[in-house]
């Protein structure tokens, strides 16, 4: 029987016994709803702009009304998406932290579980505040990175560095921070430079997950895969801007924006697929071992 893990980390083991615990049916349904709502937020929530004011699309570059709502004013499109993602990521992070709590409280006495539940409920708002502050700091880092990292085109660098595009870049950085940083900060705790044991363990967890890219259980994959995929998708999404097509959808930062959101969705679905395959493999191994024990 494995020892009960610390309350400050997402548990894992070399044999991944947590697969017997993880609520795959609930996880699959929640991820399905979450990714669907993220896609809806990206594609349909900005269509609300058409109800408030008419579109002023470029007649020289005709496109559908659906595309007009997304490309007519990138800042407004970004603002709608940020508003939707704030709600969705808070909801999703709550599920992740709930699953963490269910595992770390497993195996304790009823009094210990009640105490853990009390601490869990009491620390919800303070943890949300710390996660929001951390996400804001990550957004600042992303903004600076977008400006300084450059791209494979001088034209792209010029577009990014122009002062008139400051709100575009800032909102893109906020979107990427919400997709990659808020849920881990809420579920695992925000990393800090404090010297106490809890902070040290949190830093080790963040290093293992986001520097070494070494998730060990379904909860960790649900955090790492979408975060990494969203940043990779945003980076790949910046490439079409350098093409000299002069299309409305090439306006900064629409392609990195939708590339990051598409990457997040693909990463979430990949986390389900990998975790499910590993769970099926573990179940098959346990079944074979059980049959061998019965025959011997």
Q: Which residue, 24, 4, 2, is CA-closest to 15?
A: 2
On average, the pLDDT of the chain sits at: 81
Task: Name residues whose C-beta falls within 8 Å of residue 81's C-beta, 6 or more positions apart in sequence.
Answer: 41, 42, 45, 46, 175, 257, 261
% of the chain surpassing 70 pLDDT: 76
> Look-up: residue for tokens 């399905």?
32
C-alpha to C-alpha distance for 22 and 280, rounded to whole angstroms: 13
Q: Give the mean model confidence (pLDDT) for residues 45-74.
A: 72
Taking residues 171-200, report their average pLDDT: 91
- Examine the pLDDT at 130 and tell me if it is beyond 80: yes
pLDDT tens for each residue of 264-283: 999 999 999 999 898 888 88
Q: How many helices (H) and strands (E) does the chain have?
A: 12, 0
Q: CA angle, corner 254, sides to 250 and 259, nearest 5?
A: 110
- Return the pLDDT at 6: 42
Q: Which two tokens stand for residue 61?
A: 């570059």
Q: Give the residue-averaged pLDDT of 169-191.
A: 94
When mean pLDDT is compared across 5-9, 31-35, 201-205, 273-277, the lowest value belongs to: 5-9
Mean pLDDT of 247-260: 91
């Amino acid at each position: 029987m494995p020892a009960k893990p610390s309350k400050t980390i997402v548990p894992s083991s070399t044999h991944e016994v947590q697969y017997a615990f993880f609520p795959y049916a609930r996880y699959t349904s929640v991820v399905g709803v979450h990714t669907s709502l993220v896609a809806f937020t990206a594609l349909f929530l900005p269509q609300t702009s058409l109800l408030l004011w008419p579109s002023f699309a470029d007649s020289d570059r005709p496109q559908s009304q659906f595309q007009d709502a997304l490309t007519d004013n990138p800042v407004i499109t970004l603002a709608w998406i940020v508003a939707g993602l704030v709600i969705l990521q808070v909801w999703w992070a709550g599920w992740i932290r709930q699953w963490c709590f269910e595992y770390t409280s497993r195996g304790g006495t009823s009094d210990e579980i009640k105490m853990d539940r009390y601490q869990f409920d009491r620390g919800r708002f303070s943890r949300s505040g710390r996660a929001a502050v951390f996400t804001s700091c990550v957004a600042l880092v992303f903004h600076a990175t977008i400006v300084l990292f450059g791209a494979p085109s001088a034209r792209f660098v010029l577009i990014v560095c122009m002062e008139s595009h400051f709100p575009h870049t800032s909102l893109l950085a906020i979107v990427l921070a919400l997709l990659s940083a808020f849920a881990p900060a809420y579920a695992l705790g925000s990393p800090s430079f404090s010297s106490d044991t809890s902070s040290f363990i949190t830093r080790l967890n963040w290093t293992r997950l986001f520097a070494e890219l070494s998730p060990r259980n379904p909860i960790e994959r649900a955090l790492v895969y979408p975060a990494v995929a969203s940043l990779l998708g945003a980076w790949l999404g910046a490439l079409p801007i350098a093409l000299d097509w002069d299309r409305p959808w090439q306006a900064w930062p629409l392609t990195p924006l939708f590339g990051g959101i598409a990457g997040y969705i693909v990463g979430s679905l990949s986390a389900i697929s990998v975790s499910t395959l590993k769970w099926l493999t573990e179940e098959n191994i346990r079944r074979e071992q059980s049959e061998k024990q019965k025959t011997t």
